[in-house]
Structure 1
Amino acid sequence: MSRALLQALRIGNSAQSPQWRFSRGFASVASNLNHNYKVVVVGGGSAGLAVAGQLARDPLFAGKKDLLVIDPSAEHYYQPLWTFVGAGLKTFSESKKPMRDLIPSAADWLQEKVVKIDPTRNVVISNNGKEIKYDYLVVASGIQINYDKIEGLKESLGKDGVTSNYSAESVEKTFEFIKAFKGGNAVFTQPSTPVKCAGAPQKIAYLAEEYFRNNGIRDKATVRFLSGMGKIFAVDKYAKELTEICQKRDIKVNLLSELIAIRPERKEAVFKALGPNGGAESVIPYDLLHVTPPMGAPTYIRESGLGNADGWVDVSKETTQHNKYSNVFALGDSSSLPTSKTAAAAAAQSAVTSANLLATIKGQKGDLAYTGYTSCPLVTGKGKLILAEFSGYTLQPQETFPYNQGKESAFSYYLTSDVIPSIYWNAMVKGRWTGPGPYRRLINPLNSN
């Protein structure tokens, strides 16, 4: 194993060294809150915290309390772990930490929800009516999950076999329902909209199918994966392998099939065919139904005039700077950056955003470019994982390791289940991990895969 790889893996165990520590952030108290900040970061998710951590270390913000993070959540979730939680391989408690422990000490924290941004006045407005002025704005508000787009979903979720790993309230129900399943139709869905972690809708199907096999009921189960997308995965290399896995394990795949309604009283799922000849509806009975809801940009982004035609914050795909308002940047799931919406993408984007923002503040040209890097670890069973790494701009693999990551691997599984979560908590959300790019040049210099 190379020194570069060992250094990369060691990050997960570096939490105790002084350079990895952050002091606690400060929960918002109206009397202590300024109303005018150099930089306001909207969103305390993966992307927002990574940028806040990087900005906080710049001398511009040393001891000045000129940086504000706005997020209403008391808990921060590492949501990529929820696939493992839903399959009974990790506990829910392993996926969360208090938000106040993750806010950098150089920043203030307003624990409220943003409901409006007025970029013409440089003002952010919270749900409690607070108006916060900014010189520069970073929008990292994540993606909006639209449960109401599927008729019957909101009232069905978490009951009678209907679940979703995308909800903190129902993710533990997933494994409860998998364990209780005794046979029949196990149905897993993916919408046609962008979603966070585009591989997650099918990962839980693989893990459930394996559980059924290991517990002697596979012959009583029909496992179905229905996706509104036209391909099982965007990148051909990984799509080919996933298709073969589905065929070998008799997982029935239907593409361009969108879930539009649930009839809980009859335990029926209603799908609509998409594509050029779409429109026809079909009804599939279910005994277990895992739903990935439709998702989209937060409503207030479109209403604030920051969004493109689809509602995402309209930024340059290279610099992450807004195409109209030069003092606004965006990254992560709420941005228009045309790549898969993952924590890995947010890590790479954070380096570009913070560098170009700091350059802009200092009157320089920010020209660091994001090239679309993202990663989607596709767990296909306990101890088996396809580690997809690629550019969402070119759909070409960008693999870090010199083995074929397009094949199931125990090492890739261990990396995803144990090492990467440590990197996330101890480095990424503190702005000290911006992806494996620098290591890739050393570990896999020939880009052999």
Structure 2
Amino acid sequence: MPTSQSHEVVIVGGGAAGIATAASMLKRRPSLDIAIIEPSEVHAYQPGWTMVGGGVFEPEVTVRPMSRVMPKGVDWIKAAAASFQPENNQVTLQDGSTIRYELLIVAPGIRLAWEKIAGLEETLGKNGVTSNYRYDLAPYTWQLVQQLRKGRAIFTQPPMPIKCAGAPQKAMYLSCDHWLQRGVLGDIEVEFRNAGGVLFGVADYVPALMEYVEKYHIGLKLGSNLVAVDGPAQKATFKTEAGEVMCDFDMLHVVPPQVAPQFLADSPLAAESGFVDVDQHTLQHVRYPNVFGLGDAGSMPNAKTAAAARKQAPVVAVNALRQLDCKGPTAGYDGYGSCPLTVERGKIVLAEFGYGGKLMPSFPTWLIDGTKAQRLSWMLKADALPWIYWNGMLKGREWLAGPGNMIAH
């Protein structure tokens, strides 16, 4: 039987962005009545899946029960949101129940659109076709890397937006490093087929990455978009400016096209892109002042990474509480995103940048120069960042992530 309930604050999404925002708000105002709408029983540290695919992490360390990461005092609604009625301050769930709110925070993430590549879904996890973008497939990536001794390995990247734009390359570099150590790289033809026109969107990091492209003898194919896969025949079809090309493969690491969740895209909250239509600095909805959006579902033109959500959560926490108090926003988000590019086992190019591709290093360059492959950056990703995620970000501890000052715009 559909029911109705109401809460002061309703958050749609129990991923990194939703949980971190709830925790940050409760740190500031412990008496808040917050509900999180999230159907999943499991919470995943998705940046760890690259490391699983590279044989560095065991998959189990990247997941925890959702019940363990829900902030204390939050009402967890174990259901999926189906639609928004912002004129009535209401969210409708898939079972027809309604949740009313004073303030809404929209953070349902991004949808992996596997179905947009013909033949892909039926061959994932077999025939040499894998993806680190899924928990259950990342171990298969590592299995394929260990087994491959000769042949062709193709790594793909679809058009933007995608979460963690560096992840398609990370999988490739870690695979190549393993093959190099095993002495088989010379017998493997490696291709990076990227739908975009550049290797990486921020030019300052490209020289360091190109060193590894050359070191591993990777065939760089830009403007090449995967449109179909024939798993049993091990053939992949790419759309290029010159027309369609079909390539044989022995291993195919696929990154799926990514879109806004349908229930969001169909709602009054969506921008033309399908993502929640917010001001890129205050993260407040451009039409509904009591609605905020962040994380991968936001319309902001930043890199969609967990590091971005870590910086956005305190901004939303401050501005949302001010909205509840009938005041204007004072905190601003500067577009910060981070992409630790694993170029070999033990070294990382730590890309950190904001809006407009502006470099935004967290550390002095004498300690970590993000434009070069460094061992300290690897230690940060392998050891420090997972710990900071579980024990800092999800607990409302804003280490290196306090809310910025209001940005003039």
Asked if these proteins are the same fold (TM beyond 0.5), I'd say: yes
**Secondary structure of 1:47 counterpart:** helix
Q: List runs of 5+ in structure 1 lacking aligned partners.
A: 1-29, 440-449
The answer for the alignment partner of 2:233 in structure 1 is 266
After the TM superposition, which residues 203-222 of structure 1 pair with which residues of structure 2 at under 5 Å, given as runs? 203-222=170-189
2:281 matched to 1:318?
yes
C-alpha separation between the residues in 1 aligned to 2:42 and 2:131? Answer: 19
1:185-225 CA-partner distances (Å, limit 9, x unpaired)? 00000001311111000101001111111112112100111
1:128-159 CA-partner distances (Å, limit 9, x unpaired)? 22211111100010000000000011001000
2:376 matched to 1:406?
no
Q: Which amino acid aligns with 2:19?
A: L
Per-residue deviation at 1:91? 0.5
2:343 matched to 1:376?
no
Check 1:195–1:288 CA distance in 2 against 1; reply closer, same or farther (3 A cut). same
Check 1:68–1:279 CA distance in 2 against 1; reply closer, same or farther (3 A cut). farther
Q: List runs of 5+ in structure 2 lacking aligned partners.
A: 405-409
1:76-121 CA-partner distances (Å, limit 9, x unpaired)? 0000010000111100011011111111122100111111111122
2:271 matched to 1:293?
no
The answer for the alignment partner of 1:425 in structure 2 is 390
1:214-266 CA-partner distances (Å, limit 9, x unpaired)? 11211210011111111111111102221222022201111111000001121
How many residue pairs end up in the alignment?
401
Q: Contact between 1:119 and 1:304, CA under 8 Å: does it hold in 2?
A: no
After the TM superposition, which residues 168-207 of structure 1 pair with which residues of structure 2 at under 5 Å, given as runs? 168-207=135-174
Q: Which moved more, 1:179-188 or 1:430-439?
A: 430-439
1:408-444 CA-partner distances (Å, limit 9, x unpaired)? 11100001110011000001011212645799xxxxx
Check 1:236–1:311 CA distance in 2 against 1; reply closer, same or farther (3 A cut). same
Q: Contact between 2:190 and 2:219, CA under 8 Å: does it hold in 1?
A: yes
Q: Which amino acid aligns with 1:331?
A: L
Q: Contact between 2:127 and 2:232, CA under 8 Å: does it hold in 1?
A: no
Check 1:348–1:281 CA distance in 2 against 1; reply closer, same or farther (3 A cut). same
Q: Contact between 1:163 and 1:170, CA under 8 Å: does it hold in 2?
A: yes
Per-residue deviation at 1:400? 1.8
The answer for the alignment partner of 2:356 in structure 1 is 394
C-alpha separation between the residues in 1 aligned to 2:364 and 2:49? Answer: 28
C-alpha separation between the residues in 2 aligned to 1:72 and 1:323? Answer: 28
Q: Which amino acid aligns with 1:51?
A: T
Q: Contact between 1:70 and 1:114, CA under 8 Å: does it hold in 2?
A: yes
When the two chains are superposed, the root-mean-square deviation of aligned CA atoms in Å is 1.7
**Secondary structure of 1:416 counterpart:** helix
Paired-residue identity, %: 39
**Secondary structure of 1:169 counterpart:** coil
Per-residue deviation at 1:369? 1.1
2:54 matched to 1:91?
no
Q: Contact between 2:199 and 2:206, CA under 8 Å: does it hold in 1?
A: yes
TM-score w.r.t. the length of structure 1 is 0.87
2:270 matched to 1:307?
yes
TM-score w.r.t. the length of structure 2 is 0.95
Q: Contact between 2:22 and 2:71, CA under 8 Å: does it hold in 1?
A: yes
1:11-49 CA-partner distances (Å, limit 9, x unpaired)? xxxxxxxxxxxxxxxxxxx99x97101110000111000
**Secondary structure of 1:56 counterpart:** helix
Q: Contact between 2:105 and 2:292, CA under 8 Å: does it hold in 1?
A: yes
The answer for the alignment partner of 2:380 in structure 1 is 415
Q: Which amino acid aligns with 1:240?
A: P
After the TM superposition, which residues 128-147 of structure 1 pair with which residues of structure 2 at under 5 Å, given as runs? 128-147=95-114
2:190 to 207, 214, 223: 223
Q: Contact between 1:352 and 1:369, CA under 8 Å: does it hold in 2?
A: yes
**Secondary structure of 2:340 counterpart:** strand
